[in-house]
């Protein structure tokens, strides 16, 4: 790895791109450190793909600047393209070539061979090898993603951009894919990855939450939870739907949302102790004839934080 | 007790030597929200396609809203609603034009279409966008609109195939509130999802593995049966037996 061993992997300042009326990426600044997994987390339409396409030199920004591995994404694009690996969101390998043929093709494009790069792709190749003769189009969703990752790695890039590699992939395959990313990161490669799944934030070293073209917040996943600005509680009970209505009727409720088997209640007040809020909620619930509910203070997760920031951006 | 809204008996579908769905049996009660879970390739989509009359079973039987899907597929479609995971409205028609089109296809009168349009759009606060092209409205709204269009003809049973994929976390929850409203009004809902927290919102869930149903019950029952803290752990244990976490 030459020329860029020191310094940040990605520096974007005021990066913007419009499509007609729509500001797909709106004044985004971010720094990615070498050797980290940096997650861009947001729903469809947040601008993740547009951001990635600018960072991998496939789309010109109409405002701001970005440097990847110290090279400008507009001026130094030819140099940069040999140093980055990019896995687009849509499956973009050749469905009628076999697994082995796809890999050989991408190796040839970058002037190398599969044999020469065996070490680089070893952790993934072990899982793909049983399917080497199968047409790429006939692979399962999880296996397609692994093949695409292999093809993005074949020229030994210093940084990998993975655009929604786990979208539409089942929960178990997602977990395995993230295990692979951890292995790659440990080998020294920088990974910038986007996902709509909030629960994947915990697998990243740092994350940026993205919505409507803007970054809402950037930090370590645990820190984003710690910075949740209000007291948060998990409320459980036999009738979640009844409980939801009852809690939303409490005058100090800032938000009440279902979270799996419990509801998350955020109090609108900043400086009231948890004990007081728990007691008030229990009195309120008893007053509307809800019995058997439990209330406990909890730490906020990424999804809580995302929803808080969304509501701040545009009051519901 | 009323007849089940969905009654599936030993339903099987083979493609050549491959058994995609292997003798599955389950019932869904009227007004129930039933989560139909499984890994990619486990057979969920094949099973759902048989239940909505798009694919003929190899053997077994399935009754949906009182109609046998193997013999009455045409009739059946008028009693069910279906929302596919690929967005299924016409992007270059307006919100109202989409509603009118699907209402017409389902044989509703102009008066019924007018009444139900106002009611549905009011339900999701979309009256303002009535004359906007569907292409121009945000994804979260499109998904909610697609759901309500699937309910336009008041089907007894509605099938939702990954309705919340890629949707932001607030809209995802609003969507589930719409599902609950529909269920409380008596509509039976069968839904697939990759978000296992959403599986907790279902009255009961089934988990398919290799074409068969490997777990079936309320989320609490399923977790208890597998001694697992979360459905995610159950899912992992079932789909990767022997794997170390």
A155, A292: one domain: no
Task: Tell me if chain B has a CB within 8 Å of the CB of A170.
Answer: yes
Report residue A142's pLDDT band, with 50, 70 and 90 as the boundaries.
confident
- The CATH number covering residue A77 comes to 3.40.50.300
**pLDDT value at position A313?**
67
ipTM of the complex: 0.80
Number of independent structural domains in chain A: 2
Is A176 part of any domain? yes
User: By three-state DSSP, how is residue A119 classified?
Assistant: helix
Q: Are residues A120 and A156 in the same domain?
A: yes
Q: Which of A143, A166, A171, A310 to mutate to test the interface with B (most CBs of B within 10 A)?
A: A171
Domain that holds residue A153: 10-222
Q: What percent of chain A has pLDDT over 90?
A: 77
CA A196 to mean position of chain CA atoms: 6
A215-252 pLDDT per residue, tens: 999 999 999 999 999 999 999 998 888 899 999 999 99
Query: Do A215 and A265 reside in the same domain of the chain?
Result: no
| pLDDT category of residue B245 using cuts at 50, 70 and 90 | very low
Question: Measured between beta carbons, which residues in chain B are less than 8 angstroms from residue A261?
Answer: 200, 219-220
Residue A316 has pLDDT above 50, yes or no: no
> Does the pLDDT at position B122 exceed 90?
no
The CA-atom distances, in angstroms, between A204 and each of A157, A178, A184 are: 19, 9, 13
Q: Which residues of B touch A (CB under 8 A)?
A: 38-41, 138-140, 162, 165-171, 173, 176, 180, 194-198, 200-201, 219-220, 230, 232, 235-236, 239-240
Is residue B239 helix, strand or coil?
Answer: helix
In a domain? residue A1: no
Best residue in A19, A21, A44, A304 for a mutation probing chain B (most B CBs within 10 Å) = A44
Same domain, residue pair A183 and A210: yes
A200 shares a domain with A292:
no
Q: Within this chain, do residues A185 and A242 fall inside the same structural domain, yes or no?
A: no
Q: Do B165 and A173 touch (CB under 8 A)?
A: no
Confidence of residue B31 (pLDDT cuts 50, 70, 90): very high
Beta strands in A20-155 (DSSP E): 22-32, 37-41, 63-68, 71-72, 84-87
pLDDT, residue B129, reads 86
Whichever domain contains A301, its CATH number is 3.30.70.920
Last residue in a domain, options A179, A205, A222: A222
Check CB contact under 8 Å for A170 and B168: no
CA distances from A234 to A98, A243, B32 (A): 50, 12, 25
In whole angstroms, give the CA distance from residue A134 to residue A126. 15
Distance set, CA A182 to CA A127, A237, A270, A296, B147 (Å):
16, 38, 38, 33, 38
- Distance (Å) from the C-alpha of residue B54 to the closest C-alpha of chain A? 22
| A205 and A67 inside one domain | yes
Instruction: Judge whether A171 and A199 are in contact, CB under 8 Å.
Output: no
For residue range A87-124, what is the model confidence (pLDDT) as tens digits?
A: 998 888 999 999 999 999 999 999 999 999 998 898 88
pTM confidence score: 0.85
């Amino acid at each position: 790895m030459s020329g860029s061993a020191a310094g940040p992997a990605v520096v974007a300042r005021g990066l913007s791109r419009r499509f007609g009326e729509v500001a797909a990426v709106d004044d985004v600044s971010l720094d990615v450190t070498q050797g980290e997994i940096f997650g861009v987390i947001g729903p469809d339409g947040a601008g993740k793909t547009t951001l990635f396409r600018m960072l991998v030199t496939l789309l010109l920004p109409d405002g701001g600047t970005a440097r990847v591995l110290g090279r400008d994404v507009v001026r130094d694009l030819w140099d940069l393209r040999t140093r980055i690996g990019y896995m687009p969101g849509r499956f973009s390998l050749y469905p009628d070539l076999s697994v082995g043929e796809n890999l050989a093709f991408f190796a040839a494009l970058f002037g190398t061979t599969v044999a020469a790069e065996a070490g680089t792709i070893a952790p993934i190749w072990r899982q793909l090898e049983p399917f080497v003769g199968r047409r790429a189009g006939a692979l399962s969703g999880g296996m397609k993603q692994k093949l695409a990752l292999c093809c993005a790695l074949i020229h030994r890039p210093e940084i990998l951009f993975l655009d929604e590699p786990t979208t539409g992939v089942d929960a178990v395959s997602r977990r395995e894919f993230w295990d692979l990313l951890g292995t790659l990161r440990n080998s020294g490669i920088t990974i910038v990855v986007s996902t709509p799944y909030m629960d994947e934030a915990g697998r990243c070293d740092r994350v940026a939450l993205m919505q409507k073209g803007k970054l809402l917040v950037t930090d370590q996943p645990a820190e984003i939870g710690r910075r949740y600005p209000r007291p948060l509680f998990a409320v459980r009970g036999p009738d979640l739907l009844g409980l939801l209505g009852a809690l939303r009727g409490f005058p100090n409720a800032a938000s009440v949302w279902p979270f799996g088997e419990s509801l998350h209640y955020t109090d609108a007040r900043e400086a009231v102790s948890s004990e007081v809020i728990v007691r008030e909620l229990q009195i309120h619930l008893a007053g509307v004839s809800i019995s058997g509910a439990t209330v406990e203070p909890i730490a906020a997760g990424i999804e809580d934080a995302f929803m808080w920031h969304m509501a701040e951006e545009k009051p519901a | 007790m009323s007849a089940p809204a969905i009654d599936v008996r030993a339903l099987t579908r083979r493609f050549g030597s491959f058994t995609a769905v292997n003798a599955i049996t389950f019932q869904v009660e009227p007004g129930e929200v039933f989560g139909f879970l499984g890994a990619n390739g486990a057979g969920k989509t094949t099973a759902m396609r048989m239940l909505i009359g798009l694919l003929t079973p190899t053997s077994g039987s399935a009754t949906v809203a009182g109609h046998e899907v193997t013999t009455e597929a045409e009739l059946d479609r008028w009693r069910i609603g279906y929302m596919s995971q690929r967005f299924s409205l016409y992007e270059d028609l307006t919100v109202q034009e989409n509603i009118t089109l699907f209402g017409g296809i389902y044989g509703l009168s102009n008066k019924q279409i007018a009444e139900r349009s106002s009611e549905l759009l009011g339900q999701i606060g979309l009256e303002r966008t009535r004359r906007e092209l569907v292409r121009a409205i945000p994804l979260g709204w499109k998904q909610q609109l697609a759901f309500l269009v699937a309910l336009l003809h008041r089907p007894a049973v509605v099938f939702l195939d990954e309705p919340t994929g890629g949707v932001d976390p607030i809209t995802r929850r609003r969507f589930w509130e719409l599902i609950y409203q529909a269920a409380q009004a008596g509509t039976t809902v069968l839904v697939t999802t990759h978000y296992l927290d959403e599986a907790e919102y279902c009255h009961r869930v089934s988990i398919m593995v290799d074409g068969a149903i490997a777990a079936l019950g309320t989320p609490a029952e399923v977790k208890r049966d597998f001694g697992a803290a979360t459905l995610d752990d159950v899912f992992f244990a079932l789909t990767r037996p022997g794997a170390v976490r």
